[in-house]
Structure 1
Amino acid sequence: MAADDAPQSLNNIDKLEKLTRRRIGIDYSEHEADGKFNDQSASPLFSLLPRELRDLIWAFATAPFEDPTAPFEENAYYYRPGHTAHLKTDTTLLRTCRRIWLEANAFPMLQAEHSFYYDRAAPDKRDPQWMGQLTAHNRQNFGQLHLFVQMFKIEGLTAGTGMLRNYFLKTLPVPGDFQPRVFHVTLRHTDWWNWESDEALCLEDGWVEAMLNSPDLRSTQIFKLELETLDYKEDQLMSIVDRIKQFESEEFHTHVIDGKEVKTKFVLADEEQKTYTWEGPASLDNKTWDTYEGKGTLKYHVVTLTWRLRFPELPRAFVPQLRRAPRIRAPDVHSEISDMNKSGRRTPLDSLYVAYEPAGGRTTSTGWNVARLRWRPAQAMQRYQLMQRVGKKVRQISCRQAELGEEVQRRRFGELSGAVLAKRWEAQWRGEGSLLKFVG
């Protein structure tokens, strides 16, 4: 396919998805694509090298790197080791042949580092809109999620379900939509409270415990916390690090192994504590700060702590294959217009009658209790107006029920016609040996 044809092809796929009401995907493994690719038996790459060595080649060829043609400004807030330029992944290899595509297509996402910033973001930042558009395949192979966050934004975090996820996704939760293999949090020198006035380091560390105990990270293998400050504050930083190192996550039943629920917890890997230093300009964001007057460079001291998810009862268990998707119940779209008194529960209409329902009322054919009232013009007019309002509400509900019924019929017709069209395209793709398929 020529490069100029790509936009038109994408438009055609969008149109077909709307007509069939199903998403179009692609086969991602040799098993799924059986008979649709050349096994390349004449190539030494496939006939002589084992799969393990080929995987190393695919990983090396698709590893992310800093693009030398898109450098960052050295005095930008987001400039630091590993982030001196746009992060880029070269996927040219995946377009050479189907056999390589099928073996290597997961590697770019597995190895990529996706950075979110709150705030002072780099130009290559990700955002919730990007996150929400990922395919199920990309979500499954999501590699490293790197969060650069200021204290004012993170200190209110709690360990409630979805609290951490909401930093990255604004869509309704679906099973498996947030499961990074590595979750990396960095506090830069400029993310601490009152760094501008060079005040002593202060960390309200409840949010760190909240992350360790967050249900949103129980499909994550590694949690990293990176703390950066200036070299002359190393002692202050190490005091905070020593305190945080005492944290242990709670144990929760989060996975199922052999039909049995098992517990997980994050365990600090002491041997993986890393320290490094680096230097940068004293002017930050093209500004001169009084605190650093007379200094040509700033020397930074960085400490990284690493926790790994473990199964206390099964120390050799491996996380990704054991993920358990949360059960999420879809909302009942008919709950607002349920039949009156259908299940003995009060509906919105009941509230109109309750205040006027006497203890000794009689039952009419409609099933409602009506008061035995003496004839009084004012009361009669009030009751007449009330019944008018109730009748109007009933008519509104009846119209809404009719509209919903019509919408359901229209949707069913669309689904049936879409299913017929989808079968025709599936037959065509099978005849062409295409890797395309309908996935939902």
Structure 2
Amino acid sequence: MTKETGAGTTRSQLSRRRDPKLPLAVELLRRDEPMHPQLQSRLVSGLPREIREMIWKYALRVYEDVDDLYNSEASYARPGHAAPLRIAVALLGTCRAVYLETFLLPFQINPIEIFDGDELDIPPDSQLVRSVGDQLRCKRLKTWQFANISSVKMTVQQIMLEGGSVERVSRIIGAMGRHKGFECRSFNGLGFATLEQPAKVDNGANEMSDNKDTADKLPFPEENLLVGRKITHLTIQMGRTDWWSWKTELSECENNPRERLRLEPMINSTHIAAHRLPMTMGYEARKAGKEPDFGLDEFEKQGRWGLHVGEYWPDLTTLKLVLETFMFKKDQLDYVIECAKLWNFPLGDGYHLVWDGTEEAFRWRGASSYYNRNPRSSEGNSSRNFEAQDPPVIRWRPEIQNGCDPGDAQEFIVQTMTFKRRRISEYRTD
């Protein structure tokens, strides 16, 4: 039975006040009064738990607040970020029964999105959006909320991707500490997550496990709410202006292959003159059943982002690669995708991340000008030049604002590939 400590305050309430890192659920589950059965509610009492969980997950997915649309000419306005991202957390306040079933879901089902590149590309006023360059953004989540994140989406410039971003973001998330089953504590001075081995006694989360009736009420079987969930899903996204050669005109690309879009995970810089066509070299080697040799020294080999994926994110089951460019460079992106079909990312213990054989693509139309950040060739990137092109154009805004006429808009293409965790014996490269 919960002991009173004076003035009607319970021991669990004082414990929670001493450690604000714990959720309200700890206090609610320690109260003596029974939870209202909600018999009048068909949703709470009339549906099986499994069906309710499906409803909660649907209701708590992040969404765009289209009542507060971004300026269509803002560089961060794009599909998926037409407006600030929101989560319908008001659902958690309806009653205690709903809260206890849903309080972890906003963090478990939605990815935390981290930007490593131009700060102008970061959409403002969105939940679960962070920046490598802004430590305070990472500190807004409470510790138990941060601990229950299991998927990450990183939007990154190519210069950052080839300069250690995969490792940096893993440290912000604490992916390796999560892999070891450590507890999330705080962030250090560099903005990296601090995780420690769980203590034997924790006045709150572990205290609940001493009471089987209380522990059974938890929405998942883990005893400690501060233990970091393993990161199983990672998305790496490069936008239209994130490539080394995003400003290069089409005629220059045709005359100099080095100025075309290029990406190769097993080299730490595709921009240096000593490796003019590493993506093609890698593609030809893999087609022949070999791993490419770029003549890197031991120090250079350590910086390859393709190896960082497995080294710093060992629990991944899926990796998504989302690549965007201007429509007039579609053929260049097509070639990048063709080369990427043969990539594999070693995870250790005989597992690799390999392409699952599916492709997704769409076109979208944005403003004719993005604060003068559009390339010199943008006049050849008008939607009127691509009317008959595949894939289809999506409608990403409910209306067109600020003079962004669809006939005069710039047009972009986005292609997505998914790599899934498999044993090396389960696949082969042809």
> Could you say which TM-score interval applies, normalised by the shorter chain?
0.5 to 0.7
Aligned to 2:370: 284
Which of 126, 130, 149 pairs up with 1:126? 130
Which of 199, 203, 223 pairs up with 2:319? 223
Which of 141, 150, 153 pairs up with 1:146? 153
User: Compared with structure 1, are the counterparts of its residues 154 and 177 closer, same or farther at alpha carbon in structure 2 (3 Å cutoff)?
Assistant: farther
Deviation of 1:288 (Å):
6.5
Q: Deviations over 1:56-88 (max 9, x none)?
A: 221222221111232222222222111111000
Q: 1-side partners of 2:409 and 2:419: how far apart? A: 33
Secondary structure of residue in 2 paired with 1:190: coil
Q: 2-side partners of 1:138 and 1:314: how far apart? A: 36
Q: 2-side partners of 1:298 and 1:171: how far apart? A: 39
Aligned to 2:333: 237
Aligned to 1:249: 345
The within-5 A match list for 1:66-145 is 66-117=64-115, 118-119=117-118, 120=120, 121-123=122-124, 124=126, 125-127=129-131, 128-132=135-139, 134-145=141-152
User: Compared with structure 1, are the counterparts of its residues 163 and 88 closer, same or farther at alpha carbon in structure 2 (3 Å cutoff)?
Assistant: closer
Aligned to 1:46: 44
User: Compared with structure 1, are the counterparts of its residues 177 and 77 closer, same or farther at alpha carbon in structure 2 (3 Å cutoff)?
Assistant: farther
User: Compared with structure 1, are the counterparts of its residues 47 and 303 closer, same or farther at alpha carbon in structure 2 (3 Å cutoff)?
Assistant: same
Aligned to 2:219: none
Aligned to 2:53: 55
User: Compared with structure 1, are the counterparts of its residues 107 and 129 closer, same or farther at alpha carbon in structure 2 (3 Å cutoff)?
Assistant: same
Q: 2-side partners of 1:135 and 1:19: how far apart? A: 14
Aligned to 1:170: 192
Which of 419, 426, 430 pairs up with 1:307? 419
Q: Deviations over 1:159-197 (max 9, x none)?
A: 8xx554235552444465574443211111111113223
Aligned to 1:265: 352
Q: 2-side partners of 1:143 and 1:41: how far apart? A: 34
Aligned to 1:398: none
Aligned to 1:197: 248
Q: 2-side partners of 1:19 and 1:231: how far apart? A: 55
Deviation of 1:143 (Å):
4.7
Deviation of 1:136 (Å):
4.7
Deviation of 1:145 (Å):
2.1
RMSD (Å) for aligned C-alpha atoms: 3.6
Secondary structure of residue in 2 paired with 1:249: strand
Aligned to 1:335: none
Which of 185, 192, 195 pairs up with 2:236? 185
Q: Deviations over 1:303-339 (max 9, x none)?
A: 1111223467999xxxxxxxxxxxxxxxxxxxxxxxx
The percent identity for this pair of structures is: 25
Aligned to 1:65: 63
Deviation of 1:89 (Å):
0.7
Aligned to 1:319: none
Deviation of 1:222 (Å):
2.2
The within-5 A match list for 1:321-340 is none
Q: Which amino acid in structure 1 is aligned with residue 378 of structure 2? A: Y
Deviation of 1:204 (Å):
4.1
Asked if the contact 2:239/2:325 (under 8 Å) is kept, the reply is yes
Asked if the contact 1:155/1:204 (under 8 Å) is kept, the reply is no
User: Compared with structure 1, are the counterparts of its residues 21 and 239 closer, same or farther at alpha carbon in structure 2 (3 Å cutoff)?
Assistant: closer
Asked if the contact 1:28/1:102 (under 8 Å) is kept, the reply is no
What TM-score do the two structures reach when normalised by structure 1? 0.57
User: Compared with structure 1, are the counterparts of its residues 102 and 173 closer, same or farther at alpha carbon in structure 2 (3 Å cutoff)?
Assistant: closer
Deviation of 1:50 (Å):
0.9
Report the structure number with the largest CA radius of gyration: 1
Q: 2-side partners of 1:47 and 1:171: how far apart? A: 40
Q: Which amino acid in structure 2 is aligned with residue 274 of structure 1? A: E
Figure out how many residues of one structure are paired with residues of the other and give that number.
Answer: 289
Deviation of 1:36 (Å):
4.5
Deviation of 1:107 (Å):
1.9
Secondary structure of residue in 1 paired with 2:328: helix
Which region of structure 1 is more displaced relative to structure 2, 47-56 or 306-315? Answer: 306-315
Q: 1-side partners of 2:84 and 2:67: how far apart? A: 9
Which region of structure 1 is more displaced relative to structure 2, 95-104 or 292-301? Answer: 292-301
User: Compared with structure 1, are the counterparts of its residues 166 and 67 closer, same or farther at alpha carbon in structure 2 (3 Å cutoff)?
Assistant: same
Note the residue ranges of structure 1 that are not aligned, 5 or more in a row.
1-14, 254-262, 316-440
Deviation of 1:211 (Å):
4.3
User: Compared with structure 1, are the counterparts of its residues 189 and 218 closer, same or farther at alpha carbon in structure 2 (3 Å cutoff)?
Assistant: same
Deviation of 1:46 (Å):
3.1
What TM-score do the two structures reach when normalised by structure 2? 0.58
Deviation of 1:35 (Å):
6.1
Deviation of 1:103 (Å):
1.0
Deviation of 1:29 (Å):
11
Asked if the contact 1:77/1:190 (under 8 Å) is kept, the reply is no
Q: Which amino acid in structure 2 is aligned with residue 202 of structure 1? A: R
User: Compared with structure 1, are the counterparts of its residues 277 and 22 closer, same or farther at alpha carbon in structure 2 (3 Å cutoff)?
Assistant: closer
User: Compared with structure 1, are the counterparts of its residues 268 and 194 closer, same or farther at alpha carbon in structure 2 (3 Å cutoff)?
Assistant: closer
User: Compared with structure 1, are the counterparts of its residues 65 and 33 closer, same or farther at alpha carbon in structure 2 (3 Å cutoff)?
Assistant: farther
